[in-house]
Structure 1
Amino acid sequence: MTKLALITGGSRGLGRSMALHLARKGRDIILTYQRDKASADEVVEAIKAKGQRAVALQLDVARAETFSSFAETVKMVLRDTFNRSEFDYLINNAGSGLHQNLMETTEEQFMQMMNEHIKAPFFLSQRLIPLMADGGRILNVSSGLTRIIHPGYGAYAIMKTAVEALTLYLAKELGPRRIAVNTLAPGAIETDFRGGAVRDNKDVNAQIAAITALGRVGLPDDIGGVVAAILDDEAGWINGQRIEASGGQAI
Protein backbone atom coordinates (compact mmCIF):
# COMPACT_ATOMS: atom_id res chain seq x y z
CA MET A 1 0.00 0.00 0.00
CA THR A 2 1.18 3.53 -0.80
CA LYS A 3 2.54 5.31 2.27
CA LEU A 4 0.62 8.41 3.40
CA ALA A 5 2.15 11.43 5.15
CA LEU A 6 0.35 14.17 7.11
CA ILE A 7 2.32 17.43 7.10
CA THR A 8 1.25 20.46 9.12
CA GLY A 9 2.05 23.76 7.44
CA GLY A 10 2.46 22.15 4.03
CA SER A 11 1.28 25.00 1.82
CA ARG A 12 4.53 26.98 1.64
CA GLY A 13 8.20 27.08 2.55
CA LEU A 14 9.71 24.00 4.10
CA GLY A 15 6.40 22.15 4.36
CA ARG A 16 5.71 22.59 0.68
CA SER A 17 9.15 21.24 -0.20
CA MET A 18 8.65 18.28 2.15
CA ALA A 19 5.33 17.46 0.49
CA LEU A 20 6.71 17.61 -3.04
CA HIS A 21 9.82 15.56 -2.24
CA LEU A 22 7.75 12.89 -0.53
CA ALA A 23 5.38 12.82 -3.50
CA ARG A 24 8.36 12.22 -5.79
CA LYS A 25 9.14 9.22 -3.59
CA GLY A 26 5.65 7.84 -4.22
CA ARG A 27 3.95 9.05 -1.03
CA ASP A 28 0.40 10.37 -0.80
CA ILE A 29 -0.05 13.56 1.22
CA ILE A 30 -2.44 15.24 3.62
CA LEU A 31 -1.22 18.79 4.20
CA THR A 32 -2.55 21.58 6.36
CA TYR A 33 -2.70 25.31 5.85
CA GLN A 34 -3.76 28.13 8.17
CA ARG A 35 -5.17 30.83 5.84
CA ASP A 36 -3.79 30.57 2.31
CA LYS A 37 -6.05 27.97 0.70
CA ALA A 38 -4.95 28.99 -2.80
CA SER A 39 -1.32 28.12 -2.09
CA ALA A 40 -2.36 24.85 -0.46
CA ASP A 41 -4.46 23.93 -3.50
CA GLU A 42 -1.46 24.65 -5.74
CA VAL A 43 0.63 22.18 -3.74
CA VAL A 44 -2.16 19.60 -4.00
CA GLU A 45 -2.26 19.99 -7.77
CA ALA A 46 1.53 19.72 -8.00
CA ILE A 47 1.40 16.47 -6.01
CA LYS A 48 -1.36 15.09 -8.22
CA ALA A 49 0.75 15.97 -11.27
CA LYS A 50 3.38 13.61 -9.87
CA GLY A 51 0.82 10.80 -9.82
CA GLN A 52 0.03 10.88 -6.09
CA ARG A 53 -3.11 11.69 -4.16
CA ALA A 54 -3.30 14.74 -1.90
CA VAL A 55 -5.76 16.69 0.27
CA ALA A 56 -5.37 20.10 1.93
CA LEU A 57 -7.11 20.71 5.28
CA GLN A 58 -7.40 23.96 7.21
CA LEU A 59 -5.77 23.97 10.67
CA ASP A 60 -4.56 26.67 13.03
CA VAL A 61 -2.00 24.88 15.21
CA ALA A 62 -2.26 27.64 17.84
CA ARG A 63 -5.82 26.52 18.63
CA ALA A 64 -5.50 23.23 20.49
CA GLU A 65 -9.23 23.18 21.18
CA THR A 66 -9.79 22.34 17.48
CA PHE A 67 -7.54 19.28 17.40
CA SER A 68 -10.23 16.74 18.28
CA SER A 69 -12.48 17.89 15.44
CA PHE A 70 -9.47 18.01 13.12
CA ALA A 71 -8.69 14.38 13.96
CA GLU A 72 -12.28 13.48 13.09
CA THR A 73 -11.86 15.25 9.75
CA VAL A 74 -8.66 13.30 9.10
CA LYS A 75 -10.48 10.07 9.90
CA MET A 76 -13.18 10.96 7.36
CA VAL A 77 -10.63 11.93 4.69
CA LEU A 78 -8.73 8.68 5.23
CA ARG A 79 -11.93 6.75 4.64
CA ASP A 80 -13.44 8.76 1.80
CA THR A 81 -10.37 9.84 -0.18
CA PHE A 82 -7.74 7.23 0.55
CA ASN A 83 -9.95 4.21 1.31
CA ARG A 84 -8.05 3.40 4.48
CA SER A 85 -8.23 3.93 8.23
CA GLU A 86 -4.61 4.87 9.05
CA PHE A 87 -1.77 7.05 7.83
CA ASP A 88 1.96 6.36 8.08
CA TYR A 89 3.95 9.55 8.69
CA LEU A 90 3.25 12.61 10.84
CA ILE A 91 5.40 15.71 10.33
CA ASN A 92 4.85 18.42 12.95
CA ASN A 93 6.13 21.37 10.94
CA ALA A 94 3.71 24.32 11.21
CA GLY A 95 4.52 27.39 13.25
CA SER A 96 5.78 30.95 13.07
CA GLY A 97 8.96 32.56 14.35
CA LEU A 98 9.76 35.38 16.72
CA HIS A 99 12.74 37.72 16.81
CA GLN A 100 12.63 39.69 20.04
CA ASN A 101 15.16 40.16 22.82
CA LEU A 102 14.20 38.29 25.98
CA MET A 103 13.83 41.49 28.01
CA GLU A 104 11.32 42.84 25.49
CA THR A 105 9.33 39.65 24.83
CA THR A 106 5.71 40.04 25.91
CA GLU A 107 3.65 37.35 27.60
CA GLU A 108 1.38 37.32 24.56
CA GLN A 109 4.32 36.62 22.24
CA PHE A 110 5.65 33.96 24.61
CA MET A 111 2.28 32.18 24.77
CA GLN A 112 1.92 32.30 20.98
CA MET A 113 5.25 30.52 20.64
CA MET A 114 4.22 28.00 23.31
CA ASN A 115 0.88 27.31 21.65
CA GLU A 116 2.42 26.77 18.23
CA HIS A 117 5.62 24.94 19.14
CA ILE A 118 4.86 22.99 22.34
CA LYS A 119 1.10 22.57 22.75
CA ALA A 120 0.56 21.88 19.06
CA PRO A 121 3.01 19.00 18.53
CA PHE A 122 2.12 17.55 21.95
CA PHE A 123 -1.67 17.59 21.73
CA LEU A 124 -2.01 17.24 17.96
CA SER A 125 0.21 14.16 18.09
CA GLN A 126 -1.90 12.89 20.98
CA ARG A 127 -5.03 13.14 18.81
CA LEU A 128 -3.48 11.76 15.62
CA ILE A 129 -1.29 8.90 16.86
CA PRO A 130 -4.36 6.63 17.27
CA LEU A 131 -4.86 7.06 13.50
CA MET A 132 -1.26 6.09 12.68
CA ALA A 133 -0.22 2.69 11.44
CA ASP A 134 2.11 0.58 13.57
CA GLY A 135 5.61 0.90 12.19
CA GLY A 136 5.01 4.51 11.15
CA ARG A 137 7.18 7.57 11.72
CA ILE A 138 6.87 10.95 13.40
CA LEU A 139 9.18 13.82 12.52
CA ASN A 140 9.11 16.90 14.76
CA VAL A 141 10.62 20.03 13.24
CA SER A 142 12.89 21.94 15.60
CA SER A 143 15.55 24.50 14.68
CA GLY A 144 19.28 24.94 14.42
CA LEU A 145 18.74 27.76 16.92
CA THR A 146 18.63 25.24 19.77
CA ARG A 147 22.38 24.82 19.17
CA ILE A 148 23.42 28.01 17.35
CA ILE A 149 22.75 30.99 19.61
CA HIS A 150 21.59 34.23 17.96
CA PRO A 151 20.28 36.96 20.30
CA GLY A 152 16.62 37.67 19.78
CA TYR A 153 15.49 34.09 19.22
CA GLY A 154 15.37 32.99 22.86
CA ALA A 155 11.60 32.50 23.24
CA TYR A 156 11.36 30.62 19.94
CA ALA A 157 14.43 28.48 20.62
CA ILE A 158 13.41 27.34 24.09
CA MET A 159 10.12 26.10 22.65
CA LYS A 160 12.02 24.13 20.03
CA THR A 161 14.24 22.69 22.77
CA ALA A 162 11.06 21.35 24.36
CA VAL A 163 10.13 19.79 21.01
CA GLU A 164 13.42 17.90 21.04
CA ALA A 165 12.61 16.51 24.50
CA LEU A 166 9.12 15.56 23.29
CA THR A 167 10.72 13.54 20.50
CA LEU A 168 12.70 11.45 22.97
CA TYR A 169 9.68 10.66 25.12
CA LEU A 170 7.49 9.83 22.14
CA ALA A 171 10.21 7.55 20.75
CA LYS A 172 10.35 5.68 24.05
CA GLU A 173 6.61 5.41 24.61
CA LEU A 174 5.74 4.51 21.02
CA GLY A 175 8.48 1.90 20.72
CA PRO A 176 6.07 -0.99 21.36
CA ARG A 177 4.15 0.09 18.24
CA ARG A 178 7.41 0.32 16.25
CA ILE A 179 6.79 4.02 15.54
CA ALA A 180 10.12 5.82 15.14
CA VAL A 181 10.24 9.45 16.24
CA ASN A 182 12.96 11.93 15.31
CA THR A 183 13.70 15.64 15.34
CA LEU A 184 14.74 17.59 12.25
CA ALA A 185 16.60 20.83 13.06
CA PRO A 186 17.00 23.01 9.96
CA GLY A 187 19.61 25.72 9.87
CA ALA A 188 19.00 29.10 8.23
CA ILE A 189 16.92 28.63 5.07
CA GLU A 190 15.84 31.04 2.33
CA THR A 191 12.06 31.15 2.89
CA ASP A 192 9.47 33.74 3.91
CA PHE A 193 9.99 32.72 7.54
CA ARG A 194 10.14 35.83 9.75
CA GLY A 195 9.35 38.04 6.79
CA GLY A 196 12.00 36.50 4.54
CA ALA A 197 14.90 37.93 6.54
CA VAL A 198 17.42 35.27 5.47
CA ARG A 199 16.16 35.16 1.89
CA ASP A 200 15.80 38.87 1.18
CA ASN A 201 18.44 40.60 3.32
CA LYS A 202 21.74 40.26 1.45
CA ASP A 203 23.83 41.15 4.48
CA VAL A 204 22.14 38.56 6.70
CA ASN A 205 22.40 35.97 3.95
CA ALA A 206 26.12 36.64 3.46
CA GLN A 207 26.84 36.54 7.20
CA ILE A 208 25.22 33.12 7.55
CA ALA A 209 26.90 31.78 4.41
CA ALA A 210 30.27 32.88 5.83
CA ILE A 211 29.86 30.69 8.94
CA THR A 212 28.49 27.68 7.06
CA ALA A 213 30.93 24.97 6.04
CA LEU A 214 29.25 24.42 2.66
CA GLY A 215 29.48 28.13 1.94
CA ARG A 216 25.84 29.11 1.41
CA VAL A 217 22.48 29.47 3.11
CA GLY A 218 20.09 26.54 2.80
CA LEU A 219 17.22 26.31 0.31
CA PRO A 220 13.80 24.74 0.92
CA ASP A 221 14.68 21.80 -1.34
CA ASP A 222 17.66 21.01 0.90
CA ILE A 223 15.20 20.33 3.72
CA GLY A 224 12.62 18.58 1.56
CA GLY A 225 15.30 16.19 0.40
CA VAL A 226 16.42 15.47 3.96
CA VAL A 227 12.84 14.70 5.03
CA ALA A 228 12.38 12.29 2.13
CA ALA A 229 15.61 10.56 3.15
CA ILE A 230 14.67 10.30 6.83
CA LEU A 231 11.29 8.83 5.90
CA ASP A 232 12.71 6.42 3.35
CA ASP A 233 11.65 2.81 3.88
CA GLU A 234 15.25 1.82 4.59
CA ALA A 235 15.81 4.51 7.27
CA GLY A 236 13.43 3.13 9.88
CA TRP A 237 16.18 2.21 12.35
CA ILE A 238 16.88 5.91 13.00
CA ASN A 239 14.97 6.69 16.19
CA GLY A 240 15.10 9.29 18.96
CA GLN A 241 17.63 11.44 17.11
CA ARG A 242 18.11 15.17 16.53
CA ILE A 243 19.16 15.49 12.90
CA GLU A 244 20.48 18.93 12.02
CA ALA A 245 20.36 19.98 8.37
CA SER A 246 22.33 23.23 8.28
CA GLY A 247 25.15 22.68 5.80
CA GLY A 248 27.56 22.76 8.75
CA GLN A 249 26.50 26.12 10.15
CA ALA A 250 28.67 27.37 13.02
CA ILE A 251 30.74 24.19 13.38
Structure 2
Amino acid sequence: MGAHALDGRVALVTGGSRGIGRAIAQRLGRDGAVVAVAYARDRTAATEVVERIGENGGRAFAIRAELGGHGDAAALWAAFDALVGTHAPGDGVDIIVNNAGIGRSADLTTLTEEGFDEVFAVNVRAPFFIVKEGLKRLRDGGRIINISSGAARLAMPEAIAYGATKGALDTFTLNLAKLLGPRGITANSVAPGIVDTDVNAGWLRGNPGAQAHAASLAALGRVGQPADIADIVAFLASDDARWVTGRVIDATGGGGL
Protein backbone atom coordinates (compact mmCIF):
# COMPACT_ATOMS: atom_id res chain seq x y z
CA MET A 1 0.00 0.00 0.00
CA GLY A 2 1.07 3.55 -0.63
CA ALA A 3 0.05 6.99 -1.75
CA HIS A 4 -1.23 5.65 -5.08
CA ALA A 5 -2.82 2.41 -3.89
CA LEU A 6 -6.29 3.55 -4.92
CA ASP A 7 -5.49 5.54 -8.06
CA GLY A 8 -8.32 5.38 -10.59
CA ARG A 9 -10.93 4.37 -8.03
CA VAL A 10 -13.97 6.18 -6.75
CA ALA A 11 -15.12 5.93 -3.14
CA LEU A 12 -18.33 6.94 -1.40
CA VAL A 13 -18.09 7.61 2.34
CA THR A 14 -21.31 8.29 4.23
CA GLY A 15 -21.05 10.43 7.33
CA GLY A 16 -17.82 11.71 5.82
CA SER A 17 -17.86 15.23 7.26
CA ARG A 18 -16.66 14.45 10.79
CA GLY A 19 -15.13 11.93 13.14
CA ILE A 20 -14.28 8.50 11.81
CA GLY A 21 -15.90 9.25 8.44
CA ARG A 22 -13.76 12.35 8.00
CA ALA A 23 -10.59 10.38 8.73
CA ILE A 24 -11.64 7.65 6.29
CA ALA A 25 -12.42 10.12 3.51
CA GLN A 26 -9.08 11.88 3.96
CA ARG A 27 -7.12 8.62 4.05
CA LEU A 28 -8.79 7.22 0.92
CA GLY A 29 -8.17 10.54 -0.82
CA ARG A 30 -4.52 10.44 0.20
CA ASP A 31 -4.28 6.95 -1.28
CA GLY A 32 -5.52 8.23 -4.63
CA ALA A 33 -9.26 7.61 -4.66
CA VAL A 34 -11.74 10.23 -5.81
CA VAL A 35 -13.92 10.57 -2.71
CA ALA A 36 -17.61 11.46 -2.52
CA VAL A 37 -18.03 12.91 0.96
CA ALA A 38 -21.67 12.36 1.93
CA TYR A 39 -23.02 14.49 4.76
CA ALA A 40 -26.41 14.99 6.39
CA ARG A 41 -26.48 18.64 7.53
CA ASP A 42 -23.08 20.28 8.00
CA ARG A 43 -22.07 21.44 4.54
CA THR A 44 -19.28 23.58 5.96
CA ALA A 45 -17.62 20.58 7.59
CA ALA A 46 -17.98 18.50 4.42
CA THR A 47 -16.48 21.29 2.35
CA GLU A 48 -13.54 21.43 4.75
CA VAL A 49 -12.92 17.71 4.21
CA VAL A 50 -13.03 18.17 0.44
CA GLU A 51 -10.60 21.08 0.69
CA ARG A 52 -8.23 19.14 2.95
CA ILE A 53 -8.18 16.24 0.49
CA GLY A 54 -7.41 18.69 -2.30
CA GLU A 55 -4.59 20.29 -0.31
CA ASN A 56 -3.03 16.84 0.01
CA GLY A 57 -3.15 16.29 -3.75
CA GLY A 58 -6.38 14.31 -3.88
CA ARG A 59 -9.80 14.82 -5.44
CA ALA A 60 -13.15 14.89 -3.68
CA PHE A 61 -16.64 16.33 -3.79
CA ALA A 62 -19.43 16.71 -1.25
CA ILE A 63 -22.98 15.44 -1.56
CA ARG A 64 -25.83 16.06 0.85
CA ALA A 65 -27.59 12.90 1.96
CA GLU A 66 -30.14 12.68 4.76
CA LEU A 67 -30.40 9.04 5.78
CA GLY A 68 -33.09 7.10 7.56
CA GLY A 69 -36.14 7.98 5.50
CA HIS A 70 -37.74 6.11 2.64
CA GLY A 71 -36.11 7.07 -0.65
CA ASP A 72 -33.01 8.54 0.97
CA ALA A 73 -30.65 6.00 -0.60
CA ALA A 74 -31.98 6.72 -4.09
CA ALA A 75 -31.56 10.46 -3.45
CA LEU A 76 -27.98 9.93 -2.31
CA TRP A 77 -27.10 8.08 -5.50
CA ALA A 78 -28.86 10.68 -7.63
CA ALA A 79 -26.67 13.35 -6.05
CA PHE A 80 -23.61 11.15 -6.63
CA ASP A 81 -24.55 10.58 -10.28
CA ALA A 82 -24.96 14.30 -10.87
CA LEU A 83 -21.39 15.11 -9.76
CA VAL A 84 -19.13 12.09 -10.17
CA GLY A 85 -18.56 12.61 -13.89
CA THR A 86 -17.00 16.01 -13.30
CA HIS A 87 -14.41 14.55 -10.92
CA ALA A 88 -13.65 11.07 -12.29
CA PRO A 89 -13.92 9.23 -15.59
CA GLY A 90 -17.03 7.10 -15.96
CA ASP A 91 -20.03 6.98 -13.68
CA GLY A 92 -19.33 4.05 -11.37
CA VAL A 93 -18.04 3.52 -7.86
CA ASP A 94 -15.40 1.13 -6.54
CA ILE A 95 -15.59 1.54 -2.77
CA ILE A 96 -18.69 2.03 -0.63
CA VAL A 97 -18.09 2.87 3.03
CA ASN A 98 -21.26 2.82 5.12
CA ASN A 99 -20.04 4.90 8.04
CA ALA A 100 -23.01 7.13 8.91
CA GLY A 101 -24.80 6.05 12.06
CA ILE A 102 -26.45 7.27 15.23
CA GLY A 103 -26.42 6.00 18.79
CA ARG A 104 -29.16 5.73 21.35
CA SER A 105 -28.13 5.51 25.01
CA ALA A 106 -31.39 4.01 26.20
CA ASP A 107 -32.14 0.72 27.88
CA LEU A 108 -35.05 -1.65 27.39
CA THR A 109 -37.30 0.24 29.78
CA THR A 110 -36.67 3.74 28.43
CA LEU A 111 -36.24 3.29 24.66
CA THR A 112 -39.32 4.48 22.77
CA GLU A 113 -40.70 2.95 19.60
CA GLU A 114 -39.77 6.14 17.77
CA GLY A 115 -36.19 5.97 19.02
CA PHE A 116 -35.96 2.31 18.09
CA ASP A 117 -37.24 2.99 14.58
CA GLU A 118 -34.85 5.89 14.09
CA VAL A 119 -31.68 4.05 15.08
CA PHE A 120 -32.57 1.04 12.91
CA ALA A 121 -33.51 3.29 9.98
CA VAL A 122 -30.14 5.07 9.96
CA ASN A 123 -27.86 2.22 11.05
CA VAL A 124 -29.43 -0.70 9.17
CA ARG A 125 -32.00 0.30 6.58
CA ALA A 126 -29.85 3.07 5.09
CA PRO A 127 -26.78 0.86 4.45
CA PHE A 128 -29.01 -1.90 3.10
CA PHE A 129 -30.61 0.32 0.48
CA ILE A 130 -27.44 2.26 -0.26
CA VAL A 131 -25.88 -1.03 -1.31
CA LYS A 132 -29.02 -2.20 -3.11
CA GLU A 133 -29.23 1.04 -5.11
CA GLY A 134 -25.47 1.12 -5.58
CA LEU A 135 -25.01 -2.34 -7.05
CA LYS A 136 -25.70 -1.15 -10.58
CA ARG A 137 -22.86 1.34 -10.13
CA LEU A 138 -20.42 -0.79 -8.12
CA ARG A 139 -17.73 -2.14 -10.39
CA ASP A 140 -16.55 -5.76 -10.33
CA GLY A 141 -13.67 -6.14 -7.89
CA GLY A 142 -15.13 -3.41 -5.71
CA ARG A 143 -15.26 -3.04 -1.94
CA ILE A 144 -18.09 -2.66 0.56
CA ILE A 145 -16.94 -1.66 4.04
CA ASN A 146 -19.50 -1.29 6.81
CA ILE A 147 -18.57 0.50 10.02
CA SER A 148 -19.93 -1.65 12.82
CA SER A 149 -19.06 -1.49 16.52
CA GLY A 150 -17.55 -3.55 19.29
CA ALA A 151 -21.00 -3.15 20.88
CA ALA A 152 -22.25 -5.87 18.52
CA ARG A 153 -20.40 -8.54 20.50
CA LEU A 154 -20.61 -7.11 24.01
CA ALA A 155 -23.57 -6.96 26.38
CA MET A 156 -24.39 -3.25 26.76
CA PRO A 157 -27.96 -3.03 28.09
CA GLU A 158 -27.70 0.75 28.28
CA ALA A 159 -27.42 0.86 24.46
CA ILE A 160 -29.39 -2.25 23.60
CA ALA A 161 -30.87 -1.07 20.31
CA TYR A 162 -27.60 0.42 19.06
CA GLY A 163 -25.79 -2.88 19.64
CA ALA A 164 -28.58 -4.74 17.87
CA THR A 165 -28.25 -2.50 14.80
CA LYS A 166 -24.55 -3.24 14.55
CA GLY A 167 -25.17 -6.97 14.90
CA ALA A 168 -27.65 -6.70 12.03
CA LEU A 169 -25.08 -4.78 9.98
CA ASP A 170 -22.52 -7.55 10.50
CA THR A 171 -25.04 -10.15 9.30
CA PHE A 172 -25.73 -7.98 6.26
CA THR A 173 -21.98 -7.89 5.58
CA LEU A 174 -21.74 -11.67 5.76
CA ASN A 175 -24.53 -12.13 3.24
CA LEU A 176 -23.11 -9.51 0.88
CA ALA A 177 -19.78 -11.35 0.83
CA LYS A 178 -21.49 -14.54 -0.29
CA LEU A 179 -23.78 -12.79 -2.76
CA LEU A 180 -21.16 -10.61 -4.44
CA GLY A 181 -18.15 -12.90 -4.28
CA PRO A 182 -18.67 -14.13 -7.87
CA ARG A 183 -18.10 -10.54 -9.01
CA GLY A 184 -14.86 -10.25 -7.04
CA ILE A 185 -16.48 -7.75 -4.68
CA THR A 186 -15.46 -8.06 -1.04
CA ALA A 187 -17.64 -7.05 1.90
CA ASN A 188 -16.29 -6.56 5.40
CA SER A 189 -17.21 -4.83 8.66
CA VAL A 190 -14.88 -2.79 10.83
CA ALA A 191 -15.87 -2.71 14.51
CA PRO A 192 -14.37 0.18 16.54
CA GLY A 193 -14.45 0.51 20.29
CA ILE A 194 -14.32 3.87 22.05
CA VAL A 195 -12.88 6.46 19.67
CA ASP A 196 -12.02 10.07 20.46
CA THR A 197 -14.49 11.84 18.19
CA ASP A 198 -16.93 14.73 18.55
CA VAL A 199 -19.68 12.24 19.39
CA ASN A 200 -17.81 11.21 22.54
CA ALA A 201 -16.34 14.63 23.33
CA GLY A 202 -18.95 15.54 25.93
CA TRP A 203 -17.98 12.80 28.35
CA LEU A 204 -14.45 11.93 27.21
CA ARG A 205 -12.46 15.07 26.42
CA GLY A 206 -11.20 17.14 29.31
CA ASN A 207 -12.09 14.38 31.75
CA PRO A 208 -8.95 12.53 32.89
CA GLY A 209 -10.98 9.96 34.78
CA ALA A 210 -13.09 9.08 31.75
CA GLN A 211 -9.99 8.99 29.56
CA ALA A 212 -8.25 6.61 31.96
CA HIS A 213 -11.28 4.36 32.20
CA ALA A 214 -11.76 4.24 28.41
CA ALA A 215 -8.07 3.47 27.93
CA SER A 216 -8.23 0.67 30.51
CA LEU A 217 -10.87 -1.13 28.43
CA ALA A 218 -8.41 -1.67 25.57
CA ALA A 219 -5.58 -4.19 25.77
CA LEU A 220 -3.37 -1.62 24.04
CA GLY A 221 -4.01 0.83 26.86
CA ARG A 222 -5.24 3.94 25.09
CA VAL A 223 -8.34 5.48 23.54
CA GLY A 224 -8.82 4.88 19.82
CA GLN A 225 -8.27 7.66 17.31
CA PRO A 226 -10.15 8.15 14.02
CA ALA A 227 -6.95 7.45 12.07
CA ASP A 228 -6.75 4.00 13.70
CA ILE A 229 -10.01 3.07 12.03
CA ALA A 230 -9.30 4.88 8.77
CA ASP A 231 -6.08 2.94 8.27
CA ILE A 232 -7.92 -0.38 8.60
CA VAL A 233 -10.53 0.78 6.09
CA ALA A 234 -7.77 1.82 3.69
CA PHE A 235 -6.29 -1.68 3.89
CA LEU A 236 -9.66 -3.30 3.19
CA ALA A 237 -10.18 -0.95 0.25
CA SER A 238 -6.84 -1.84 -1.30
CA ASP A 239 -5.69 -4.77 -3.41
CA ASP A 240 -3.78 -6.04 -0.38
CA ALA A 241 -7.13 -7.14 1.10
CA ARG A 242 -8.36 -8.93 -2.02
CA TRP A 243 -8.62 -12.27 -0.15
CA VAL A 244 -10.49 -10.94 2.88
CA THR A 245 -14.28 -10.97 2.77
CA GLY A 246 -17.23 -11.65 5.03
CA ARG A 247 -15.21 -10.72 8.11
CA VAL A 248 -15.75 -8.45 11.08
CA ILE A 249 -12.40 -6.76 11.76
CA ASP A 250 -12.08 -5.94 15.45
CA ALA A 251 -10.83 -2.37 15.81
CA THR A 252 -11.22 -1.94 19.55
CA GLY A 253 -7.54 -2.14 20.45
CA GLY A 254 -8.26 -5.40 22.20
CA GLY A 255 -11.37 -4.27 24.03
CA GLY A 256 -13.07 -6.91 26.16
CA LEU A 257 -10.11 -9.28 26.26
Q: TM-score range by the shorter chain?
A: over 0.9
Provide the C-alpha distance between the structure 1 equivalents of 2:129 and 2:186, rounded to a whole number of angstroms: 18
Tell me which moved more, 67-76 or 121-130: 67-76
**Is 1:246 aligned with 2:252?**
yes
Counterparts of 1:40 and 1:124, CA distance in 2: 19
* 1:41 counterpart letter in structure 2: T
Secondary structure of the structure 2 residue equivalent to 1:152: helix
**Given residue 11 of structure 1, which amino acid in structure 2 is its aligned partner?**
S
One-letter amino acid of the counterpart of residue 180, structure 1 = T
**Structure 1 166/204 Cα, relative in aligned 2: closer, same or farther at 3 Å?**
same
* 2:119 counterpart letter in structure 1: M
- Partners of 1:137 and 1:179 within 8 A in 2: yes
- Deviation of 1:194 (Å): 5.1
Please tell me whether residue 172 in structure 1 is matched to residue 178 in structure 2. Answer: yes
The match for 1:15 is: 21
**Shift in Å, 1:230:** 1.7
Residue 150 (1) aligns with residue 156 (2): yes
Q: Does residue 80 of structure 2 align to residue 74 of structure 1?
A: yes
Q: Corresponding residue for 1:129?
A: 135
> Superposed, which structure 2 residues align to 1:67-146 within 5 Å?
67-146=73-152
Which amino acid in 1 is paired with 2:181? G
State the one-letter code of the partner of 1:250. G
1:113-159: per-residue Cα shift (whole Å, max 9, x none)? Answer: 11001110111111112111110000011101112333311110001
Identity %: 39
Tell me if structure 1 keeps the 8 A contact 2:195–2:224. Answer: yes
Change (3 A) 1:190 1:42: same
Return the alpha-carbon distance in structure 1 between the equivalents of residues 160 and 200 of structure 2: 14
Whole-angstrom CA distance in 1 between matches of 2:101 and 2:208: 25
Q: 1:96–1:194: 8 Å Cα contact kept in structure 2?
A: no
Cross-structure match for 1:5: 11
Counterpart-to-counterpart distance in 1, 2:74 and 2:241: 31
Structure 2 runs not aligned, ≥5 long: 1-6
Aligned length: 251
Q: Is the 8 A contact 2:143 2:236 kept in 1?
A: no
Question: Could you tell which deviates more after superposition, 53-62 or 192-201?
Answer: 192-201
> Cα offset for 1:199?
3.7
Q: Matches of 2:122 and 2:211 in 1, distance apart? A: 26
Distance 2:202 2:10 in 1: 30
Equivalent position amino acid for 1:170 in 2 = L
CA-CA distance at 1:100 after TM superposition: 1.1
* Runs of 4+ displaced beyond 6 Å: none
1:162 and 1:53, CA in 2 relative to 1: closer, same or farther beyond 3 A?
same
Query: 62-71 vs 176-185, which deviates more?
Result: 62-71
One-letter code aligned to 2:108: L
Say if 2:29 and 2:60, in contact at 8 Å, map to a contact too.
no
CA contact (8 A) 1:96 1:193 kept: no
SS at 2:157 equivalent: coil
Q: Distance in 2 between matches of 1:133 and 1:108?
A: 37
Q: TM-score, normalized by length of structure 2?
A: 0.93
**Whole-Å separation in 1 of the counterparts to 2:209 and 2:106:** 19
Return the letter of the residue paired with 2:145. L
Quick check: 1:221 aligned with 2:227? Answer: yes
Cα RMSD of the aligned pairs, angstroms, is 1.4
Partner of 1:44 in structure 2?
A: 50
CA-CA distance at 1:208 after TM superposition: 2.0
- Return the offset for 1:200: 4.7
